[in-house]
């Protein structure tokens, strides 16, 4: 059985009320006044001055309407999904994120593959060669780092760019080619955020303390942004040989974000959705693929294969 973390307590610097927390938690929010402190090394207690909240403002009816609309928009979704998708009661929680505002400058180099025709007549052939390529790009990020360890919440990785935002379930259909999936462009958790006010949180939503401090969050953000920049550079060249990213941090903020985890059933399978309780926006969603969409993809593949075979047969019969 897992060992339960030791329970501890300290008095709030703002109102004097006790703050109960678990060993390993590093950012503590008072449930009475909302004052937040950060436990640093050697037992030092530091105030968190840049503490913000995306106040919950979308009610259940608003979220349901947004979900039904999402079900009816886009490719590779069953036409009857908005009517036949059965929603289950959602789970609401307010989670802490460190948002690292920074600038990233990337230099990359590699090689692009090229082909050319050489020779003439019967000696004509195609050869492959490579040409050097290089470039630079800059990105401004408000990179989100989940402030807790050992917990996995569906979809929170899609708060940052590069993760899967819309996941299409093809039910084992092998000719899916990743169709129906959508990549996240990221969300700016500072947009619309206001000074943390515990009274603005919807009743019944629990608030989680953070388990990593600001320095750890900035270190993790640097690593994740570097990997994201390398993946971006890799898409610009056939063979990437070198990629260097320099990151300049402009500010780091603790933001509590209201999230709603929904699930729904379509036919015999369950699917999940993660919604931003401030905007109502779907951070990540799963959906089934319609039967007719699978049939269309199969027919297109068969037509392509048939066309290729016909070209090969024609070329062989007319050789010489």
pLDDT in tens, 262-298: 999 999 999 999 999 999 999 999 999 988 888 887 7
d(CA 19, CA 21): 6
Pairing type for strands 239-266 and 86-87 reads: antiparallel
Q: What is the pLDDT of residues 152-180, one digit of tens each?
A: 899 999 999 999 999 999 988 888 888 99
pLDDT 10s digits, 207-241: 888 888 899 999 999 999 999 999 999 999 999 99
> What percent of the chain has pLDDT above 70?
95
C-beta separation of 282 from 182 below 8 A: no
Could you tell me the pTM of the whole model? Answer: 0.84
Q: How far apart are CA 257 and CA 193, in angstroms?
A: 9
Cβ contact 25:208 at 8 Å: no
Mean pLDDT over the full length of the chain: 89
Q: Where are the domains of the chain?
A: 1-48, 50-90+144-224+249-312
HEC letters along 113-173 = EEEEEECCHHHCEEEEEEEEEEEEEEEEEEEEEECCCCCCCCCHHHHCCCCEEEEEECCCC
Q: Which residue has the higher pLDDT, 74 or 23?
A: 74
The string of pLDDT tens digits covering residues 63-104 is 999 999 999 998 899 999 999 999 999 999 999 999 999 999
**Which pLDDT belongs to residue 272?**
98
Contact between 243 and 233 under an 8 Å Cβ cutoff? The reply is: yes
Kindly give the residue spans of alpha helices, DSSP state H, lying in 235-317. 291-317
């Amino acid at each position: 059985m897992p060992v339960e973390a030791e329970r501890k307590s300290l008095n709030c610097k703002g109102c004097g009320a006790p703050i109960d927390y678990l060993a390993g938690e590093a950012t503590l929010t008072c449930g009475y006044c909302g004052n937040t402190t950060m436990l640093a090394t050697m037992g030092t207690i530091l105030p968190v001055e840049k503490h913000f909240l995306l106040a919950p403002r979308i009610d259940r009816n608003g979220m349901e309407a947004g979900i039904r609309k999402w079900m009816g928009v886009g490719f590779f979704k069953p036409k009857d999904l908005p009517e036949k998708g059965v929603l289950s009661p959602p789970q609401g929680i307010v989670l802490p994120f460190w948002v690292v505002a920074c600038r990233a400058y990337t230099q990359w180099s590699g090689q692009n593959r090229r082909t050319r025709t050489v020779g003439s007549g019967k000696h004509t052939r195609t050869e492959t060669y490579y040409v050097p390529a290089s470039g630079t790009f800059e990105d401004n990020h408000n990179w989100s780092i989940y402030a807790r360890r050992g917990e996995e919440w569906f979809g929170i990785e899609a708060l940052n760019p590069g993760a899967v935002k819309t996941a299409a379930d093809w039910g084992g259909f092998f000719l899916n080619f990743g169709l129906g999936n959508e990549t996240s462009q990221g969300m700016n958790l500072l947009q619309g955020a206001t000074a943390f006010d515990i009274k603005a949180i919807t009743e019944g939503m629990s608030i989680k303390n953070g388990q990593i401090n600001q320095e750890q969050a900035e270190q993790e953000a640097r690593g994740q942004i570097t990997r994201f920049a390398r993946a971006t550079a890799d898409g610009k060249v056939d063979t990437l040989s070198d990629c260097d990213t320099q990151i300049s941090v402009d500010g780091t903020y603790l933001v509590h974000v209201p999230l709603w985890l929904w699930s729904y059933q379509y036919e015999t399978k369950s699917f999940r959705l993660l919604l931003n309780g401030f905007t109502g926006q779907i951070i990540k969603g799963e959906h089934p693929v319609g039967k007719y969409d699978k049939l269309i993809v199969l027919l297109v593949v068969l037509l392509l294969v048939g066309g290729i075979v016909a070209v090969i047969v024609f070329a062989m019969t007319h050789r010489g």
